[in-house]
Structure formats: C-alpha cells, structure tokens
Chains A and B, each alone.
Chain A
Amino acid sequence: MASVTRTRTEMADVAGAWVRRNVWTLGLIGLLVVFLAVTKLLQPNYGPAAIQGLAIAILPIAFAAVAQAIVVISGGIDLSVGSMMALASVTSAVLMKGQGDLFGVAVVAGVLVLGFVVGAINGGLVVITKVPDIVVTLAMSFVWAGTALLILNTPGGGAAPWLMAIISGPLGSPWLPKALVVLAVIVGVLWIPLRRSTLGLTLYALGSSPLAAFRSGVAVGRTKIIAYMLTGFFSALAGLALTATGGVGAPVPGSYTLQSVAAIVLGGVSLAGGRGGVLGPIIAVIVLALVRTDLFFAGVDPNWSTAIQGGILIGVVMFGSLVAMRKVRA
C-alpha cells in the first residue's frame, strides 16, 4: 500500500464512510438512549440495581442473538438455537451440581466443546443432505430439545458458585454490571479477531454471494459448517448464561430462538446474508428488553405488551428500509 499522508478532508471522508456503514448501529444506540430516558421518566427511581437486573436478564438472549447473527451473516439460519441453549444449560447444571470449582471450569469447557459438536452436526446435515437449512435446523431443534429433556426433565441441577458470581453485582462503579462486562469481554475477545480474520471474511463472502465466494476460492461447504459450529458455540455460551443466571438447568427451550431472530433483524443483520455485525443485535436485545420494562412501568397489560413489541419490530425495520431506499435513490 502506498504510504500517503492523509489530509484533514481525507480523514473526514474516512469518518463519513464509517458513519455511513454503521448508521444502523448508531441509530440503535440513539434508540437505546431514548428508551433509557423514557424508563427514567416513567420510573424516577430506576437506578443501578435495575440496570444490573437488566444486564443479567438479557445475558442469555444476547449470546443467542450473537449465535444467530453469525449463521445468518453467512447466509443460513438456525432455528435450533433455543434447543441448543437448553441442552447446554441442563448438561452444565447436571454435571456441576455439588462439584468443586475446578470441576466446574472443566464442565464449562466441556459444554462449549459440546456446542461446537452440536453445531457441526447441524451444519454437516445442511451441507451433506442439501435439505434447506430452515428445515434441518427446525427438525434438529426437536432433537436437541428432546435430548435436553432426557438429561433433565424438570428444572434442576445446580451452578458452580463462581459461575454465578462472575455475572452478579457491579464491577467498580455501581452503574457497571458485571454481566455486561462479561458479555462485552467474551464477545469482544472472540468476535473482533474473528471478523478481521480470513475466516470472518469468508463468512461474510458466503452470505453476500455464494457464487462469487466460490469463484473467489472460498470452500463453501466447509465455511458453512464452521458458521454453524460458531452458532453452536455461542448457543452453548447462552445456555451456560441461563444456568448461571437461574442457578439451575432449564430443560425447556422457551422462545429464545424467535427472540434471537427478532434481535438480529432489529440489529441490522440482513436475513439475506452478508450484512450486519454482532453489536447491533446485542443493542437490539437491550432495546427490546427496555420496551418490555417500559410497558410494564406504564401499566400496560403484559399480553398487549408482547403485541406492541411485535409492532415496534415491524415499524423499525420498515423505517430502516425506507431510509435505505432513500439513500439509494439520492
């Protein structure tokens, strides 16, 4: 690369380009600030304790959103995220109950490996059988959910005390919950190097244009399997977070899969693949949680509040597409 000294206008151009490319995430941060302000208005004594509660509550779904984001960026989708979470949660809870700290660490490592393996099975089936990914992962969601129930058919087991300790309470300032720090560190340490690596490029390439990726020398099948493995890995993290936040294993998947899809869509990941990141989906998870909180504080019937969340999801995505269309025309 030619070594050019950048003038001020060039710097401005670079900054402008950065803003243009991250406009969705920046908009979401704005939305987050708005909702925080609304929350404070509705509930004047909303403070550090509530923030900590929020951070702990969103931890599992935030990991699930990262898991879903990775596979969707690479052009697939995984409807078994929730079931894989349940599987990871019960496996960790059953193994950790009444064991020492060191064994707990081994269990965590083992469950993460399990996540890779389960994801590899999902991805392998998609690549080998050529059955559409949405069908394979829907079917596998039943398989993993069933397996989780075989391991533990009612909530139970236990979590190692250290696992619960690292996500509860604040770190330094009372405004900074440990759960948020854990989320930021894990995602930052894993995702940032991944995104900059050739593997990260191939994930985006595959999702953006499978034909162009193939012609550029991307091993399509292998990359797809790796994407599902990463999704399995982050789903396992989400399952561990479930165990850590609840203190027991949760064998029933709940609505995490669909919540993860909602979060990535709101977070600016294109369902067609190739576009988006993981920061957007994480912020989207927080926004969606705040919406629920605000509607609760405003005294809205909880059944209505889920309907309103759905409306907000459609509204925001529609607004975003309108803005994007304007930009193309301009």
Chain B
Amino acid sequence: MIDAAPDLLLNATDVAKHYGAVVALRSASLAVRPGEVHALMGANGAGKSTLVKILTGGVRPDHGTIDVRGKPFAAHSPTEARRGGIVSVYQEPSLIPDLDVRSNLRLTRTPPDAVRHWLAELGLPDLDLASLVRELPLASLRIIDLARALAIEPDILMLDEMTAALPANLTERVLEVIGRLRGSDRSVIFISHRLIEIGAVCDRATVLREGSTVGVVDVTAGSDDRIVALMLGDIARGGPVEAAQASVRAGRAADAIPRLTTRNLTVGTKLSDVSFDLYPGEVLGVVALEGQGQDELFDVLSGSERPSGGELLVDGSARSFRHPADAIRAGLVYVPADRAEALLMQRSVRENIALPFTTRFGAWGPIDVRGERRKVDGAIATLQIDTRAAGEVRRLSGGNQQKVTIARWVAGGVRTMLCFDPTRGIDIGTKQQIYQLLRDLAGAGAAVVLYTSELKEIQLACDRAIVIFGGRIVAEIAVADADEATLLRAAYDLRPEELMPEEVASAGVAAEAAEAADAAASEPADPDLGAPA
C-alpha cells in the first residue's frame, strides 16, 4: 500500500492525537505522490478534521512522522505550514473582511500578478483588487482564496471542503483548474463530501475510519462503492433491521391532517424547495452530511430565521414565524444539539424546566407554584433526570443536561418537537432513554423531527427518513430500508441501484432535477451573501 518513501511528496505515517481520554486519531497515514490529486475521505468523527488541523499547523500530533519532500514537517501555525510546503483553502473564506483584496495579498506576501493570472483561469478576470472583501459575494471570496493559494505555488495544496457551497459553474471551473495541476511536481489534497467531484479530479483516495487509515483506493469508474464500504467498515453489509419496531409504527390514517407541512421551503442558497409532511404520532428522521442545509431548515421551523420562499403549514393552516415565541405558540419546540443554547447553565433544573411554560402563560401575575412543581416533578420522573446536582444545570452530566432540555418542553405538553442531533456527545444509556422517550412522545400523538449525525439512530427511533443534500431533499427512505449503508449512500447523493431497486427510478429523477436546478440557481451569484450588515 505504501510506496518507496523517496517517491512521495507527503508521507505521514502512524499519526495519532488524543484529547484527554478521547482518541481523535489512532493511527492515520497519508501518502501523496508528486503530481497527483489525492482525496481524503472519512465519515463524521473519522478523524479527518484532526488530520487536516495537524497538516495546517493548528494541532500538534502526539506521535507519528510527517515528511514533505523527505524533510520532517512540524508546523505550529499556518505560516510554518506554508513554509513547510502546505497551503490550505477552507470552506469559509480566510480573507480579512475590512481590508481590500490587495491588502489581503500583501498580508500573506502573495504576488498580485500571479493571483491575477489564477483569477483569470478560475473565471474572475475582471476582479478589482481594490474592492473591499466585505463587499464581495461569498463565491468570489472562495475563488480569491484559491487563486491566492495557487499563486503561492505550494508543494501541497489542501482544499478542505472548499467547493461545499460554491455554485455549480464555479465548482466546474475549480475542478478543471485542479485537474490541470495533475502531472506537475506539485500535489493536491482534496476533501469533499461529493463523491462525484472525487471521481472527476482525484487519482487516489485515502479513507479514514475511527481515527485510522483503513485503505487507499485508486479512483476509477467503480471505486465509489469501495470508498463508501471502507468508510462504513463492518456495518456496510448491514445489520439486522429491527423490523418489530417498524411494524408498530406503520398505522397512519390516510386522511389525517399533517401536523406540519412545508411546501417549497427555500432559504437563500442554502436550502431549496424543501417539501415534506409530518403526521401526528410520527418520528421523521433527517439525514444529511454537514452543512447541507439542515441547520437552516431547523432555524426556519423553530422560528429563528425567516424563509426566503415557500410555505409552512401547521395543522393545515399557513404560518409565518417572526420569532421563536411564534413557533412555540404554534406548538413547535426546539431541542438543539448545543445544550448551552437552550439552558440557563447557572440556574437550577427546576427553573430551567419551568421557564418555557411560565413565560408562556405566566403573563405578569404571580407564578402558580404548586402547578409548576407538579409539572416539573412529572417531567423529571418521566425523563429519569438525576437530580443530585439539581442546583445548577452546568454541574449535570451532558446526558442529564440534554434530558433537561427535552423535559422543558415535555412538562408543558408537546405537540411537535424539533430535535437537532440531541444525542451528540452523550453516553449510550442516556441515548437509549432519549430514543424511548421520542417513541413514547410519538405514541402519545406528538410529532417529532429528528436530525441526527449518527445514522444508526434512524432505525432506532424513526418511522421514515428524508435525506438532504445540497439544500434539497434527495431521498425519502422507509425505516425498514434505512440501514446505515443506504443512508450514507443517499447522503452522498449516490444512486442506490443494487440496494433499493424499486427506488432507483424516483431517486434518479430527483438527482437529475437537482442537478438541473443547481445549474439554474448558480447563474446569479447571490449578492446578499457578500454584504453582511
């Protein structure tokens, strides 16, 4: 698998990094030949971002060796990484908003003529270097970032999800330029969630899983499946589906009014044309890779952000939320992944649980202490919250904190609960309790939307799942078919030929429609994005 060392431009072997007891990287290796475009792949938590941080000088590895052109590479800052031959372009621009483009180039001592050359190559020949960065559209900033990195002529150019939110025409241009770098004596490390881009420009792919390099694949016509299989490991073959649960959830009255309906919901360029129905008694799973528009979807549903287009119906009547309070009044309550977003960390468990319903109908009068206590006790019992450290929520364990965020809403009676990755970073026992609780809520007639970054949760807690990719719903999968392999393939927008023959047609149409719409949407680079207030 590993070539003779002198031939390699970058050779990282057995790189490991621990954060306390947490192992971020166990034993990662990455070998990049001169002149190749090398993909770095891995599911969430595989250690990809830690390896990227090590290569860009943000983090120092615990052990392992990294050589660039045969010389040891050790960087403590992006400047040192650059001196060592590695320059990176990230998903979000690393340009200074309050300086003009020319000053930004001066800051990194990049020759403007070379940047102009690459800007022209990348399709921005007329960019005025005197423009203030803050006033430029987001897509242009990514291109400037890339042109600046290319102008530095690094040994290794690392592109970390840089195409993630680029319009299709610019992505194509970027891929074309990267493709032309092949065969020189420089290399590119390419990180993307889009397998289609990997197939288009990459020569080989290194796959990480659970902190270790599990394989290096030559990218060819049929290598996508192999890459996905490596990312998944054992589970690719698919564990037994818990069919018993699925059958319990089957009954839904055909004439029921959906609790929640979205029609063509759109948020800027992040979310387009999202339509689904959510029925009482149902848990709807949402699956997406990072940054595919799920954040915007939940922001809209919970009233934090207003959609730029489309409709939102609650119990069949159209609603428009100006504030989270409007959503709560309509019965849509939100459980965020980041518990600090929801809880008053310095206050007690009781106050936290009581807050939503005292603010709801407490108005200005005195708090109904007895009624409040009854509800809070009920919620604490239902969720089995460990109240030994109830005086201050911040002293509770993560799992118990998350239970409190849910209990806040359960105490007041739940109609629709929006859960955004509620089990992130909590222990397995509490996770089980949360799945059970979501099932119980649904059993009692509530409707639940559950976004999760752990694919196996779909089969543990949901009735069906929708998959979002590039801001669009690309698949809807029944729980019986929603094993991890199917979900992951769908999340990467791969057509699930072998696995789900009956869905090939519909998924294919959806993907084509998405591509066509992508192309159409990319024409006007959204001017709103470039000018934050």
Q: Are B78 and A275 in contact (CB under 8 A)?
A: no
Using Cβ atoms and an 8 Å threshold, which residues of chain B touch A325?
Answer: 533
In the complex the two chains form, what is the Cα distance from A209 to B132 in whole Å? 14
Q: Are B106 and A208 in contact (CB under 8 A)?
A: no
Nearest CB on A from B109, distance (A): 8
Using Cβ atoms and an 8 Å threshold, which residues of chain A touch B130?
Answer: 14, 17
Tell whether A311 is near chain B: CB-to-CB under 8 Å.
no
In the complex the two chains form, what is the Cα distance from A37 to B108 in whole Å? 47
In the complex the two chains form, what is the Cα distance from A204 to B94 in whole Å? 14
Residues of B in contact with A, size category: 20 to 34
Nearest CB on B from A219, distance (A): 7
Q: Are A217 and B533 in contact (CB under 8 A)?
A: no
Nearest A residue (CB) for B531: A328
Q: Are B107 and A201 in contact (CB under 8 A)?
A: yes
Interface flags, B72-105, vs A, CB<8A=1, else 0: 0000011100100000101001111111000110
In the complex the two chains form, what is the Cα distance from A325 to B531 in whole Å? 11
Interface flags, A209-232, vs B, CB<8A=1, else 0: 101111111110000000000000
Tell whether A5 is near chain B: CB-to-CB under 8 Å.
no
Using Cβ atoms and an 8 Å threshold, which residues of chain A touch B94?
Answer: 211-212, 215-216
Using Cβ atoms and an 8 Å threshold, which residues of chain B touch A2?
Answer: 113, 116
Q: Are B533 and A208 in contact (CB under 8 A)?
A: no
Using Cβ atoms and an 8 Å threshold, which residues of chain A touch B106?
Answer: 198, 201
Tell whether A92 is near chain B: CB-to-CB under 8 Å.
no
Tell whether A286 is near chain B: CB-to-CB under 8 Å.
no
Tell whether A1 is near chain B: CB-to-CB under 8 Å.
yes
Using Cβ atoms and an 8 Å threshold, which residues of chain A touch B78?
Answer: 214-217
Tell whether A104 is near chain B: CB-to-CB under 8 Å.
no
* Residues of A276-330 contacting chain B, CB below 8 A: 324-325, 328
Q: Are B99 and A21 in contact (CB under 8 A)?
A: no
Tell whether B496 is near chain A: CB-to-CB under 8 Å.
no
Most A Cβ at <10 Å: residue of B79, B97, B107, B116? B107
Using Cβ atoms and an 8 Å threshold, which residues of chain B touch A216?
Answer: 78, 94-96, 104, 107-108
* Residues of A175-226 contacting chain B, CB below 8 A: 198, 201-202, 204-205, 207-209, 211-219
Using Cβ atoms and an 8 Å threshold, which residues of chain B touch A219?
Answer: 77, 79
Using Cβ atoms and an 8 Å threshold, which residues of chain B touch A217?
Answer: 77-79, 82, 107-108
Q: A2-B116, A217-B79, A328-B533 are in contact. Are A202 and B107 (CB under 8 A)?
A: yes
Using Cβ atoms and an 8 Å threshold, which residues of chain A touch B90?
Answer: 215
In the complex the two chains form, what is the Cα distance from A204 to B97 in whole Å? 10
Tell whether B112 is near chain A: CB-to-CB under 8 Å.
yes
Using Cβ atoms and an 8 Å threshold, which residues of chain B touch A208?
Answer: 96-99
Q: Are A1 and B98 in contact (CB under 8 A)?
A: no
* Residues of B6-27 contacting chain A, CB below 8 A: none
Nearest A residue (CB) for B108: A216
Tell whether A60 is near chain B: CB-to-CB under 8 Å.
no
* Residues of B472-502 contacting chain A, CB below 8 A: none
In the complex the two chains form, what is the Cα distance from A214 to B108 in whole Å? 11
Nearest B residue (CB) for A270: B98
Tell whether A239 is near chain B: CB-to-CB under 8 Å.
no
Tell whether A274 is near chain B: CB-to-CB under 8 Å.
yes
Question: Which one, B107, B132, B531, contacts A205 given CB within 8 A?
Answer: B107
Most A Cβ at <10 Å: residue of B98, B103, B533? B98
Question: Which one, A1, A198, A212, A328, contacts B113 given CB within 8 A?
Answer: A1
Q: A2-B116, A212-B93 are in contact. Are A204 and B98 (CB under 8 A)?
A: yes
Using Cβ atoms and an 8 Å threshold, which residues of chain A touch B77?
Answer: 214, 217, 219
Interface flags, A66-109, vs B, CB<8A=1, else 0: 00000000000000000000000000000000000000000000
Nearest CB on A from B458, distance (A): 34
Nearest CB on A from B152, distance (A): 11
Q: Are A209 and B96 in contact (CB under 8 A)?
A: yes
* Residues of A1-59 contacting chain B, CB below 8 A: 1-2, 14, 17, 21
Q: Are A201 and B103 in contact (CB under 8 A)?
A: yes
* Residues of B127-147 contacting chain A, CB below 8 A: 130, 132
Using Cβ atoms and an 8 Å threshold, which residues of chain B touch A213?
Answer: 96, 107
In the complex the two chains form, what is the Cα distance from A311 to B62 in whole Å? 57
A-B contact pairs, 21 of them (CB 8 A): A1-B112, A1-B113, A198-B107, A201-B99, A204-B98, A204-B99, A204-B103, A205-B107, A207-B98, A209-B97, A212-B94, A212-B96, A212-B97, A215-B90, A216-B78, A216-B108, A217-B77, A217-B78, A274-B96, A274-B98, A328-B531
The 10 closest A-B pairs by CB, nearest first: A215-B94, A217-B79, A208-B98, A274-B98, A205-B96, A212-B94, A208-B96, A216-B108, A216-B107, A201-B107
17 more A-B residue pairs beyond the given contacts A212-B93, A328-B531, with a C-beta to C-beta distance below 8 A = A1-B112, A1-B113, A14-B130, A198-B106, A201-B99, A201-B103, A205-B96, A208-B96, A208-B97, A214-B77, A215-B78, A215-B90, A216-B107, A217-B77, A217-B78, A217-B82, A325-B533
